Structure 1
Amino acid sequence: MATPELMSDCSRCFGLCCVLLPFAAASGFGVDKPGGTPCLNLLDDDRCGIHTSLREDGWPGCTVFECFGAGQQVSQVTYSGRSWREQDNLGEMGAVLSVMRQLHEMLVHLTEVGRRSPDPAAESARAEITTLTEADPETLLTYDLDSLHQRVGGLLADASARVRRPWPAARDRSRADLAEIRLTGDLRGWGFRGATMIRADLRGADLREADLLGADLRDADVRGSDLSSALFLTQPQVNASVGDATTVLPEGLARPGRWLA
């Protein structure tokens, strides 16, 4: 079974994130909105009416969000091309989208393991999750997701240790509070798993092989930094940070347009 698409394609989704997910103005979404209620900016064709001016109009949260392809998977596979407009249980659909997004994010990381440090156990987990993404709503909602997260987390930690082995002296700042801290120079192989790095100053830092799994990079300054081979860096983390034309990103991650503004 082929791995599902792991990047969002809004043209094949019914605007699920704009309808099924709750919004909070304090989190950068313009207004407070409960899950299951269409966003006031959603058009009849399920496109965003202010997509080109989200930040200027007070919706920066939308520019950070990425579903990893879960939206089109739920739209086209789980519900066989039936829009939310045709459903009578948006609560179920919202829960399915949440589960699918987690599955797709795990697939993103396991695919990276397969590319950078192949491991039979990781490949087996990837195949299992790929099969699960094809399942019906009941199967998705009753699957032991906590156990799966724990298992995949262990596989990612093992892969991280293998990739970072050439830097035995690298520091481990996993889950550390590094908000607004200045970190520069050679940070190759450092561990930043789950670290709080809000507004951290990382300008010009060498972050190759640094493990950034789950790190909070909101407004972290990565201008001029080398992230070309950073581990487990995702598009939402990139979108939330502050970079420029000299920031080096891993292949497959897009440079946010505002970085060049």
Structure 2
Amino acid sequence: MTYENRNPWDKKLYKDLENDCGNCFGLCCVALYFSASEGFPNDKEGGRACAHLQEDFTCTIHNSLTDKGLKGCTAYECFGAGQKVAQVTYKGQDWMKSPESAQQMFQVFSIMRQLHEMLWYLTEALCIKMSLDIKNDLERLMSETEALTYLDAGALSGLDIALHRDKVNLLLKKISKIVRTEDNRGEKNTSSRRKKVGGRFDFIGADLRKANLRGMDLGGALLIAADLRGNSLRNTNLIGADLRDADLRGSDLTESLFLTQTQVNTAKGDRNTRLPAWIKRPGTWCK
């Protein structure tokens, strides 16, 4: 599938799926479990505020996260779930002023983030030209998923998120297969020779500069510290792939499938790395 076979990108589609920390209650800095070994300031239990979170929900070290090497913080994305929970679900009432709702709010935030992540993938799928029946299925599932994000806190906390994710994954896999079949020039032997870890392809530290990865299914693949310099990942399924410290300098990801900002934030790249229009180039890649 060439770029011409994809629909024009509409920035408005991603408007509500981008972080807006100014309208959040620092939920990611409280609700989540932290580990210093994973690039966070310190070890922290879920539900306990980070030591650097201030009463106005700003971070005392935000401007020095990169200098301090806190990759966990700089890579994290909530897909806009934070402001949705803060301003829509809880109508601007924060967990500090209403401590009795704090634990529920943190649980709702976790569920909302998953729903918004699904909306991110479904929104990208809208940019792919497809048959009318699949498009209708996609639009129905998008509407259903978005409707779930407007449930009240009680309904959200009791939502069977795994069941809904299974429905979304089934459709995404179907769409991915259709796209990859049209551009099935992936080097099948490359993946078939690789061992799997927990059902995921293991490309940790692999030199993939000359591998033909176009049209391959690398969903969930372990690409940690893999060398992908100058490679083309067009129509390559990257959903859930671990790209931590993967070298993407000069690589082409303009038409890769189901790439997220979080994945890009954890990788290495430069000015010559080609990214989809909806992905922001990390500031460190421009130096």
Instruction: Provide the TM-score with structure 2 as the length reference.
Output: 0.86
Return the letter of the residue paired with 2:151.
Answer: A
Give CA-to-partner distance per residue, 1:102-138, whole Å, 9 cap, x none: 0000001111112214521121111001011001111
Alpha-carbon shift at residue 190 of structure 1 (Å) = 1.4
Counterpart Cα distance in 2 of 1:65 and 1:126: 24
Structure 1 residues 50-59 or 230-239, which shifts more? Answer: 50-59
Q: Does 1:240 align with 2:266?
A: yes
Return the letter of the residue paired with 1:67.
Answer: C
Q: Does 1:122 align with 2:138?
A: yes
Give CA-to-partner distance per residue, 1:2-42, whole Å, 9 cap, x none: 98710111111111111221211111112111122221111
Q: Is the 8 A contact 2:19 2:77 kept in 1?
A: yes
Alignment of 1:108-147 (within 5 A): 108-118=120-130, 119-147=135-163
Counterpart Cα distance in 1 of 2:36 and 2:265: 18
- Equivalenced residues, count: 260
In structure 1, the gaps of 5 or more residues are: none
Match of 1:218 in 2: 244
Counterpart Cα distance in 1 of 2:129 and 2:158: 31
Match of 2:195 in 1: none
Instruction: Provide the TM-score with structure 1 as the length reference.
Output: 0.95
Return the letter of the residue paired with 1:143.
Answer: L
Match of 2:109 in 1: 97
Q: Does 1:28 align with 2:39?
A: yes
Match of 2:224 in 1: 198
Higher relative contact order structure (alpha carbons within 8 Å, sequence separation ≥ 6) = 2
Counterpart Cα distance in 2 of 1:171 and 1:95: 42
Give CA-to-partner distance per residue, 1:128-181, whole Å, 9 cap, x none: 010110011111122221111111111001111121222234246482011001
Q: Does 1:184 align with 2:209?
A: yes
Alpha-carbon shift at residue 55 of structure 1 (Å) = 2.7
Q: Does 1:13 align with 2:24?
A: yes
> Secondary structure at 1:129's aligned position in 2?
helix
Q: Does 1:70 align with 2:95?
A: no
Counterpart Cα distance in 2 of 1:258 and 1:227: 18
Q: Is the 8 A contact 2:184 2:216 kept in 1?
A: no
> Secondary structure at 2:17's aligned position in 1?
coil
Return the letter of the residue paired with 2:32.
Answer: L
